[in-house]
Structure 1
């Protein structure tokens, strides 16, 4: 299969179709920044700042201490931290030791932690003190040899570091007591006794893994995606080429996306380090805290998710804050409704564009040109050195323009494969094309449009229905803050369309009103038959709605109704 790459005609003159990539390790960029600009502020965490020199120094100390604990090149080290200075230090410190980072979601329960630790055969876990009890429960049945513990307060400025333990106890209702010993270490002590010298470890960027990033878990058991140093370096350089108006050393990035998610890791953390930006780190996303940070620090780059932008748009106090410093917002992880894009651009004056990618692609493969031809409803065009096509369901060949099929991609940012799963790896490729599992089409200009995940397609009465199209319509309603659509089992139609709605504050709507609204904008077979109003939707920490959770709830209801005889 070959493509004509007609999208290249829509590249701005400043973006080349192919880039020259540096054959470097990911952590070498932190070293360069520290040597060139040792006193430049690298991050700000709730008022506590660290320079590039200080971050590099602590990452070196951790790397050497990991080696003393027995970590060898290629070993896996799990990092389960919220956004914090420690998350940056530990990520790069693990890489400097020659080990592979296993990013672990702090929201995971014991079963999920145990699966990820044992699947990766991680020897060390670095975690927050509040998460230590979960790690301790699975430790005896796992591959872990050492646990390194840190606290948010360790990197807070005075007096916040004194107040934090009381806040933590009030919020969690627990006080964690840790018995530090030969196998359980405090990060602060580890760093204090570590040497700030570069370890003698040789890493081949194109072959050696930097990361095992486990797939989201929204659809089932997570798989470990193998990403090399080159995969991540290249995707970060591609991001820099795409955002060509951003100036190295001059930008201020809002780090609200979780670093443990591949999207936040690449377009926030890795990008900031490579281009010597200053990261303003939020431990979790809160609309008011984000608005305050944008105003105070004059944020220029704000990668986020649709739910984050929705949260800011609907924050009652938004008009109190100045957002005019924002140059670029990249939206990912979920479809960006047009209404949300237009409102946020109007409020901030910056550009908000949707991007598309997957964990398996480091993650970005395409996005809308930031300063170029825009297309309503499109997710944009492939990045430099990236190819994309639509695989026809009927012919298993390239689909015609406008024909819906599976999106397939290839490029230097595509993963090496799935960890210890050769069959899964083979099944996810068609020759050298990666099968994304997403359904979409390409238009006559080469712009790609995603209609939905292959597994999200609803088949009702023989019709293929794409939830994203219905969600776009629902977002047009002035009273709706969030909407998600799923197919629930139906004995007659196969599946029935159901919409879950979160209303804006002080809004009141009925199912009949929403059905009438949809009927004016959708074919009758696409109109939701059922509506459920909720205060909030179940989401991952990065803001992606957990459709699986909603579907499981519906199936349980159906089983309960069958048991009790209610139909």
Structure 2
């Protein structure tokens, strides 16, 4: 079945079914952009802009300095920064030095940070000043030898650079002063120095790592996904082929997805530089700031996550802003509700489609067409060029025909090398070149794929298999519902029962009875939630993925406490 690739028949003539990839490292994209467009603006950040020449020269200074403090080929260097110019410069600087980037969530607390630094064996870390105390505390327990410190104010225009430290002190309650000496280094001092000699290394594009990207860790400990230069270059090229109407050097990309998430990293840090476009960076998502930025900076491409689009759509003054510059949005990270897609396209006049991928696939494997029909609502779309996909039986391991539900598996040049220092996990996930995604889904006759849910998220109630996504899609269509997640919680009779956690739109009111009546019109009785919990917000990862397991764990803990109390 997989050899037939029925989806290729649907490709428009502009998208090739097969691509050839340059034998190059990721950082060579910056060399080419800076050579071709040295004075073109590469980054806009809170009112200040930086050219490709500046970004390239700065990255070389970082590379030279890193080599000077002992970083060589294959050494891991962590980046613990929000979306800032420093993050882009550091990313390419590490690669120019021959190192491997370890993207680290700036929200990590000491325990999480210590785990990742120990697991990756990072020798150095580039971190925001307010994170310096946290990094310093865990440093003795890890292989970290150097901390390079930077601050938001370092790349702000006047007078924001003078005002911001006061805002930061008020917000975080600390002021950090680090001296450029010993094992502590200041990025501002590094960038003042002339670029020293940089040792160049031979690279095996298929084997040498560019990135250790840690999985979210929503189930168990995070795993370091080994992504090679080939993985990242090929996926960026696929993305560029899919966006065939975009023009090199003319697009503006909104960078609000965090760079420590693989989707934000690929679509903004790599793809933007690959095409010599401009990235507009926001250090965190705030609906009003994002709306103002769109109106003023006129981005044309807006990669995002469903929670970001939902946050914008539910801003009370969204209609006061001109969002007409937005042409193309591919949503990743989690399922895109159909209602959100339709509303966002109405508001912006642009196209918003759902894509699909994993950290393990650099990250994208599927997407809907942006400008070509058919666009199938509720589908993750078609496999990308050079990408194969199939549905595998979870019982027999055999490929299943169209229409049958099984595990989605993918194969292509973007598929990871494996998990860092975890050969057993690698062997369980990679089978004969196929990556087993852990997602349940099916393919239709034309080659469109559909995700029904994570294997681990499937609810089994009274012997029935229930997919949370189906329930969530129905509830998202209710006019009062802003966000929702469905999950299975223990039930002594049915094994599990369906519970819906609901966040209502501002000012909206609805009762549990009304939602129950509504869902019964659209779902089989066994799928209807038996319990509704109304919440002010839902727990999420930094990229906006709702933490279903955390909600279930909270309920499990309550049940245990109630059981213990009853015994007493």
- Aligning the two structures, in what range does the TM-score lie when normalised by the shorter sequence? over 0.9
Deviates more, 1:240-249 or 1:180-189: 180-189
Corresponding residue for 2:389? 388
In structure 2, how many angstroms separate the alpha carbons of the residues matched to 1:265 and 1:556? 36
In structure 2, how many angstroms separate the alpha carbons of the residues matched to 1:411 and 1:470? 32
Corresponding residue for 1:217? 217
Corresponding residue for 1:462? 463
CA displacement at 1:492 relative to structure 2: 1.8
In structure 2, how many angstroms separate the alpha carbons of the residues matched to 1:196 and 1:245? 41
> Do 1:27 and 1:92's aligned partners in 2 also have CA atoms closer than 8 Å?
yes
Corresponding residue for 1:497? 498
In structure 2, how many angstroms separate the alpha carbons of the residues matched to 1:431 and 1:200? 35
In structure 2, how many angstroms separate the alpha carbons of the residues matched to 1:152 and 1:31? 26
Corresponding residue for 1:74? 74
> Do 2:2 and 2:388's aligned partners in 1 also have CA atoms closer than 8 Å?
no
> Do 1:486 and 1:498's aligned partners in 2 also have CA atoms closer than 8 Å?
yes
Deviates more, 1:495-504 or 1:170-179: 170-179
- For residues 526-550 of structure 1, the C-alpha deviation after alignment (integer angstroms, 9 at most, x for no partner) is 1111111111111111110111211
Corresponding residue for 1:297? 297
Corresponding residue for 1:262? 262
Corresponding residue for 1:343? 343
Corresponding residue for 1:519? 520
Deviates more, 1:252-261 or 1:167-176: 167-176
Corresponding residue for 2:481? 480
Corresponding residue for 1:99? 99
Question: Gaps spanning 5+ residues in structure 2: where?
Answer: none
Corresponding residue for 1:247? 247
In structure 2, how many angstroms separate the alpha carbons of the residues matched to 1:305 and 1:394? 32
In structure 1, how many angstroms separate the alpha carbons of the residues matched to 2:527 and 2:384? 33
CA displacement at 1:196 relative to structure 2: 6.1
Corresponding residue for 2:354? 354
Aligned counterparts, 1:31-42, within 5 A: 31-42=31-42
- For residues 9-33 of structure 1, the C-alpha deviation after alignment (integer angstroms, 9 at most, x for no partner) is 1101100100111111000010111
CA displacement at 1:193 relative to structure 2: 2.3
> Do 1:58 and 1:196's aligned partners in 2 also have CA atoms closer than 8 Å?
no
In structure 2, how many angstroms separate the alpha carbons of the residues matched to 1:139 and 1:395? 47
> Do 1:65 and 1:194's aligned partners in 2 also have CA atoms closer than 8 Å?
no
CA displacement at 1:53 relative to structure 2: 0.2
CA displacement at 1:210 relative to structure 2: 0.1
Corresponding residue for 2:419? 418
Aligned counterparts, 1:66-215, within 5 A: 66-178=66-178, 180-195=180-195, 198-215=198-215
> Do 2:98 and 2:200's aligned partners in 1 also have CA atoms closer than 8 Å?
no
CA displacement at 1:187 relative to structure 2: 1.1
> Do 2:206 and 2:228's aligned partners in 1 also have CA atoms closer than 8 Å?
yes
> Do 2:118 and 2:142's aligned partners in 1 also have CA atoms closer than 8 Å?
yes
Question: Gaps spanning 5+ residues in structure 1: where?
Answer: none
> Do 1:98 and 1:202's aligned partners in 2 also have CA atoms closer than 8 Å?
no
In structure 1, how many angstroms separate the alpha carbons of the residues matched to 2:431 and 2:107? 34
In structure 2, how many angstroms separate the alpha carbons of the residues matched to 1:378 and 1:224? 29
Q: SS where residue 520 of structure 1 aligns?
A: helix
Q: SS where residue 565 of structure 1 aligns?
A: helix
> Do 1:12 and 1:371's aligned partners in 2 also have CA atoms closer than 8 Å?
no
CA displacement at 1:136 relative to structure 2: 1.2
The two structures, once aligned, show a CA RMSD in angstroms of 1.3
In structure 2, how many angstroms separate the alpha carbons of the residues matched to 1:345 and 1:32? 34
CA displacement at 1:198 relative to structure 2: 4.9
1:533 aligns with 2:534: yes
Q: 1:55 to 1:566 in 2, by over 3 A?
A: farther
Q: SS where residue 356 of structure 2 aligns?
A: strand
- For residues 221-273 of structure 1, the C-alpha deviation after alignment (integer angstroms, 9 at most, x for no partner) is 00110000110010000000000001010000110001111000011221100
Consecutive aligned runs of 4 or more in structure 1 exceeding 6 Å deviation? none
* TM-score with structure 2 setting the length: 0.98
CA displacement at 1:219 relative to structure 2: 1.2
Deviates more, 1:278-287 or 1:557-566: 557-566
- For residues 361-419 of structure 1, the C-alpha deviation after alignment (integer angstroms, 9 at most, x for no partner) is 00000100112211121100000000000002343211121110000000000000011
Corresponding residue for 1:510? 511
- For residues 38-92 of structure 1, the C-alpha deviation after alignment (integer angstroms, 9 at most, x for no partner) is 1000010000110000000000000000000001100000111000000000000
In structure 2, how many angstroms separate the alpha carbons of the residues matched to 1:302 and 1:478? 26
In structure 2, how many angstroms separate the alpha carbons of the residues matched to 1:263 and 1:15? 21
Corresponding residue for 1:434? 435
Deviates more, 1:437-446 or 1:194-203: 194-203
Q: SS where residue 333 of structure 1 aligns?
A: coil
Aligned counterparts, 1:538-553, within 5 A: 538-553=539-554
1:23 aligns with 2:23: yes
Aligned counterparts, 1:365-404, within 5 A: 365-372=365-372, 373-404=374-405
> Do 2:65 and 2:196's aligned partners in 1 also have CA atoms closer than 8 Å?
no
In structure 1, how many angstroms separate the alpha carbons of the residues matched to 2:115 and 2:555? 27
